[in-house]
Amino acid sequence: MQRSQRLNANPRVDEAQHRVSAAGFKYFVTEMLCQAAGGPQQYSGRSMDIPIGT
């Protein structure tokens, strides 16, 4: 789904890409980056503190 070989090499990113549509994946990444940059958006996706499979 993503063209970046570096992103695709990360198993967590690869797994997330297959759970949501391309538009949904882009939306969550955009939310996360905007929140990290101090913008008014708040990340609404699953917590990244929880291990995969739980």
Buried/exposed code over 6-42 (b: 16+ C-beta within 10 A; e: otherwise): eeeeeeebeebbeeeeeeebeeebebbeeeeeeeeee
Spatial separation of the C-alpha atoms in residues 1 and 22, rounded to whole Å: 7
Helix (H, G, I), strand (E, B) or coil at 14: helix
Mean pLDDT of the chain: 79
Q: Are the CB atoms for 46 and 32 separated by under 8 Å?
A: no
Per-domain residue ranges of the chain? 22-46
Evaluate if pTM is beyond 0.75.
Answer: no
> How many residues belong to the chain?
54
7-46 pLDDT, tens digit per residue, is 778 887 777 777 778 788 888 889 989 999 998 888 888 7
